[in-house]
Structure 1
């Protein structure tokens, strides 16, 4: 049973096994932009035991708030993305930028201070806002109106490319912050900043997963 799971792609597992994305986050497996890798290959690249992870997948119990979004209509999924992720990102980033600027100002003399983090987050905010506006004003209205997927492959291609850029931004975020691990003697502001960044990372990866692996491949019903 576990061997069969190891040969499935991360995107397939993320779509079909509620709770799997939480486990993938814990193991730092990219199920959104890197979702076409099999569990075995993705685990091998990180030096992980694929059979062990597959066993943990089999033991998962879905949370109450988890849903199989492949069974939803385009409009339902789009509404969920807008409310759960677009709105949330717009709330998260201004506060994270403020916290990052404070940490850099107060602890800038330390070697382990994440210098450049506030500027990087500001760039992420600008890129995300541009991306979300394109979805809200161009792509999502088309998908919500049952336009055939072949007619929107251009906008979808642009969004997929920008998702790859968001993934690269998350990788840079990890580089700046020691993979979001605060120093042992970090102040409360520093710890709050990294906790908020971890939430942003998880939210953004789930956001990209829902679009790349479900909405953009036409798994949903039109209405």
Structure 2
């Protein structure tokens, strides 16, 4: 979906459509949560921000959010190309998103956890997932991916050992999937309660987007890349 950023759009509507634009508004000290029910022009004026700079940054984020994968392309690609794509399309954005989403999850849990106890579990699960995924992607890039490419050589001697590493990655994918499954269950499908504030809703939307991106990431590895060697 595309959206034309105009000065009369409400700040909250932009964030609702593209949750990661919240990071842009935060940088410019524009309140997208409680104060988001105002036109972009007014928000920019109140903060003495530069409208052109802001719109350019918003469009850059929206363009990234609109990126999709054509899986048919990757089935016919080399393993090296797939690995490079996974790193650039998923690992780097994942690291950025986990870092940027963390303070929102913490804030919502702290402010609303007393009246919505499930948020305490959301906080716990998110940070468990964050730790798992960062450790996992680091292992892939630093050791397993380079080893996997060695399997292109039929004469490689430690083939079974390398395959065991791939199996280990698959188990880690399963564990991340189980965390995401529990997150979806305790948030009722990432649907916020009626009394949820803007930040509360933002966290649920970005968690759902994180789930979607993680599933695509894992699909490329489990169902396209790894089966070439197992």
TM score, norm. by length of structure 2: 0.63
Which residue of 2 is the match for residue 80 of structure 1?
85
- Deviation for aligned residue 1:132: 1.0
Residue of structure 1 equivalent to 2:187: 177
Residues 101-131 of structure 1 deviation map (CA, whole Å, 9 limit, x = unaligned) = 1111211231365223222211111111111
Distance apart, 1:174 and its partner CA: 1.3
Moved more, 118-127 or 146-155: 146-155
Determine whether 1:66 maps to 2:76. Answer: no
> Does residue 109 of structure 1 match 2:114?
yes
Residue number in structure 1 paired with 2:141: 136
8 Å CA contact 1:103, 1:113 repeated in 2: no
Query: How many pairs were matched up?
Result: 157
In the alignment, which residue of structure 2 is the partner of 1:100?
A: 105
**Structure with greater contact order relative to length (CA < 8 Å, sep ≥ 6):** 1
Match of 2:205 among 190, 195, 210: 195
What is the match of residue 8 of structure 1?
A: none
Q: 2:224 aligns with which of 207, 211, 214?
A: 214
- Structure 1 unaligned spans of 5+: 1-62
Displacement of 1:70 in angstroms is: 0.7
Aligned equivalents of 2:117, 2:208: Cα separation in 1? 18
Paired residue secondary structure (2:190): coil
- Find out whether 1:90 has 2:95 as its counterpart: yes
Q: TM-score by structure 1 length?
A: 0.64
Higher Cα Rg, which structure: 2
Change (3 A) 1:199 1:134: same
Q: Is the 8 A contact 1:75 1:144 kept in 2?
A: yes
Ranges in structure 2 where 5+ consecutive residues have no aligned partner? 1-66
Q: CA RMSD in A?
A: 2.1
CA distance in 1, matches of 2:182, 2:189: 9
